[in-house]
Amino acid sequence: MTTLWPELPTAAAAHALPLLEKGLEQDWSRPAGETDWSLVELIDHITLGVMGYAGLLVARPADRYIALRTGTDPHAPVAERLESITIAATLLSHTVRATVPEVRAYHPWGASDRTGFAAMAAVEILVHAHDMTRTLGFDWTPPDDLAEPVVGRLFPAAPAGHAPGLTLLWACGRVALPGLARLPRGRWQWSGEVR
């Protein structure tokens, strides 16, 4: 499979959000999976992260995060807050497309390029969608075709021989794999460096 990096953030959003929208009538103030956020707070976390990745590619700082902070209207309904993920993913996809391969920007887990930031956005969207679906009562795993390039780009030491969607969840401390214990909560991280 040839990865089309600019399309990865929007593809992740397009796949995950229709599933989340099925839970619109539920209580979104509940904790999202085993995270420290409520469902609605996790939407804002995803939006901030994905928008921040676009900002990093534009500003290109070498040693700091950017001053840009985004968020959603705290009074907006959940459907509109979910829409903010699509907006952020689209802006990042356009930024990835417009950024030349040589550009590098700061990230605390390794200075990265456009492919790294596209993959980071997919992690935010896909893994946190998994967190939210657990609370909403849906059984969902990130699709293998979207997870495979993310695992390859950000988790080079991930074990081979497992479905990419499950491997992504394992690499982010969400599930165990056959023969491999679940990584401790908060003890995982990706490698953003360009290889």
For residue range 35-68, list pLDDT tens digits in order.
999 999 999 999 999 999 999 999 999 999 888 7
Contacts of 116 (CB under 8 A, 6+ apart): 107, 110, 153, 154, 192, 193, 194
| Domain contains 101 | yes
| Domain contains 160 | no
Kindly report the CATH number assigned to the domain that includes residue 51. 1.20.120.450
* Number of domains the chain is built from: 1
| Domain contains 148 | no
Contacts of 16 (CB under 8 A, 6+ apart): 125, 126, 129, 142
| Domain contains 14 | yes
The pTM of the full predicted model, rounded to 2 decimals, is 0.95
The full length of the chain comes to 195
The percentage of residues in the chain with a pLDDT greater than 90, rounded to a whole number, is 88
| Domain contains 27 | yes
Q: Is residue 23 classed as helix, strand or coil in its secondary structure? A: coil
CA distance 35 to 15: 21
For residue range 132-161, list pLDDT tens digits in order.
999 999 999 999 999 999 999 999 999 999
Q: By residue range, what is the domain housing residue 52?
A: 5-141
